Amino acid sequence: MRPKTSDTDKLDKLICIRLSGLEKRLLLQRCKKEGYRTISDFCRAKLVRKREIKKVEASKEFMEAAQKLDYELNRIGVNLNQVSKRLNTHPVYQFSNADRKVFLQLLSELKNCFATLQHYLDQIEPK
């Protein structure tokens, strides 16, 4: 036989909220994704209990990659600022082939940065 629940631990108070069908589906998906058995358990954890903090240790490899990405993104920002200055200082400025090459190079570098970040994010939170 199950032990009697104390009065302070009884879950006998009810709170009702209204959700759209989409909101309820999203809530159910999130409950399952985070490993809660019921919506009630999920809501109690999120609303009443202390915030759950996941501590993620960063490897040396990740820190080096992050520093490299920071440098690359800074370079991209500098290049974009140079192009925008040219555009703003000359009212009838036309894009040249050199400008197009710079933009294509920036796009390529941004894609590489994004791919690297995505790789590390996938390691932190596997799909």
Mind listing the pLDDT tens digit for each residue in 23-41? 999 999 998 888 888 888 8
Statement to judge: residues 48 and 72 lie in one domain: no
Average pLDDT of 77-83? 81
Statement to judge: residues 108 and 68 lie in one domain: yes
> Residue 27 is part of which domain span?
15-53
When pLDDT is cut at 50, 70 and 90, the band that residue 127 belongs to is very low
Tally the domains of the chain.
2
Statement to judge: residues 78 and 109 lie in one domain: yes
Mean pLDDT (the chain, rounded): 80
The answer to whether residue 5 sits within a structural domain is no
Contacts for 72 with CB less than 8 Å, ≥ 6 apart = 109, 112, 113
Statement to judge: residues 112 and 73 lie in one domain: yes
The answer to whether residue 113 sits within a structural domain is yes
The answer to whether residue 3 sits within a structural domain is no
Average pLDDT of 31-54? 81
Looking at 17-26, 81-90, 105-114, which range is the least confident one?
81-90
- What region does 81 belong to: left with phi over 0, alpha with psi -120 to 50, or beta? alpha
Side chain identity, residue 7: D
The answer to whether residue 85 sits within a structural domain is yes
Side chain identity, residue 124: I
Of 38, 117, 32, 39, which Cα lies nearest the Cα of 73? Answer: 117
The answer to whether residue 111 sits within a structural domain is yes
The answer to whether residue 23 sits within a structural domain is yes
Tell me how far apart the alpha carbons of residues 81 and 104 are, in angstroms, rounded to a whole number: 15
The answer to whether residue 4 sits within a structural domain is no
